[in-house]
Amino acid sequence: MNGTSRVLTKAFGRVVSQARREAGWTQEELAHRAGVHRTYVGDLENGRKSPTLDVVETLARAFGRPANELIAAAEALGS
């Protein structure tokens, strides 16, 4: 992973973490709502995993937001 994508991956994790906390959810609850494993949510939030577009869409649906909103927020944080 190059430096630019690494920055975006970490920023996306911060966006997911913030959205999850704003919703008042645990990582486990987000994982259940999105249909992913809890450890995967932790890895995303900590920037250890880079999500696929399908996962971005799944997380966005769980939050009731459009996927482009999550991506745009990550881009803003990462710039």
* Exposure string for 31-56, b = 16+ CB within 10 A, e = fewer: bebbebeeebbbbbbebebbbeeebb
Question: What is the pLDDT at residue 34?
Answer: 97
Cα–Cα distance measured from residue 28 to residue 20, given in angstroms and rounded to the nearest whole number = 10
Cα–Cα distance measured from residue 24 to residue 49, given in angstroms and rounded to the nearest whole number = 23
Nearest 10 degrees: CA dihedral of 78, 37, 65, 70?
Answer: 10
Per-residue model confidence as pLDDT tens digits over 42-70: 999 999 999 999 999 999 999 999 999 99
For residues 3 and 9, the answer to whether their CB atoms sit within 8 Å is: no
Question: What is the pLDDT at residue 5?
Answer: 78
